[in-house]
Structure 1
């Protein structure tokens, strides 16, 4: 079969970078970011958080081939706002949200276990 081995979908090769950022020559104040060993899960999450920022004019990603875990994201921001900073701030907001979800899950888990102990 043509599909790559499963480990190739998440293990970086020797010397391979997780992300590569280059300026986008097609539009002012925009960058292209290549994410290696990632898929729609991360791409759509980052894109959705970027678009919540009013200073982000455009954010989209594409997966160039369905068999390879790699996507390219384009971010364009207002003139006074660095697209790299927009990406960083979106990632910080994602981590805060995931931390809240993790804490809420842990609280529910602990309550459920306490309930089981009394029954």
Structure 2
């Protein structure tokens, strides 16, 4: 009814910039970054990566309204690096982390094919008869 069309939530319009940086005039070494066509998933990952960096004093994000597909990231640094530069570093590290996770995920599923199909047990035990999580295998071993 009031919700926008689905494609408007992730497709950038003609001439629309995906990232807008505005320096904060009241707080030193701070900026507010508006990231368009994204939601809580990316916002929380960027915030967590920023907080892990020693140059960042404050990092937070908010989604002003659920019907508008953007979020705001507020960053304050210690002055050794600009907020825009630290955001770029955080995104680069995040991409590396996600690539590593993807490689590990693919490697684990390639091992699954080598080991053979697992027998599904409706009572929550794996093929060796132990309950999930008690042995060396866990619930991710399908």
Answer yes or no: same fold by TM over 0.5. Answer: yes
State how far apart, in whole Å, the 1-side matches of 2:66 and 2:114 are.
Answer: 45
Tell me which structure has the larger Cα radius of gyration.
2
The residue that corresponds to 1:30 in the other structure is: 30
State how far apart, in whole Å, the 2-side matches of 1:80 and 1:19 are.
Answer: 22
| Structure 2 residues not aligned, in runs of 5+ | 118-142
The residue that corresponds to 2:83 in the other structure is: 83
Structure 1 outlier segments of 4+, above 3 Å: none
State how far apart, in whole Å, the 2-side matches of 1:116 and 1:13 are.
Answer: 47
| Structure 1 residues not aligned, in runs of 5+ | none
1:105 aligns with 2:109: no
- In the TM superposition, what are the counterparts of 1:59-74 in structure 2 within 5 Å? 59-74=59-74
Specify which structure has the higher proportion of helix.
1
Residue 95 of structure 2 aligns to a residue in which SS? helix
Residue 103 of structure 2 aligns to a residue in which SS? helix
Length-normalised TM-score, structure 2: 0.78
Following superposition, the deviation at residue 115 of structure 1 comes to 2.7
CA RMSD of aligned residues (A): 1.3
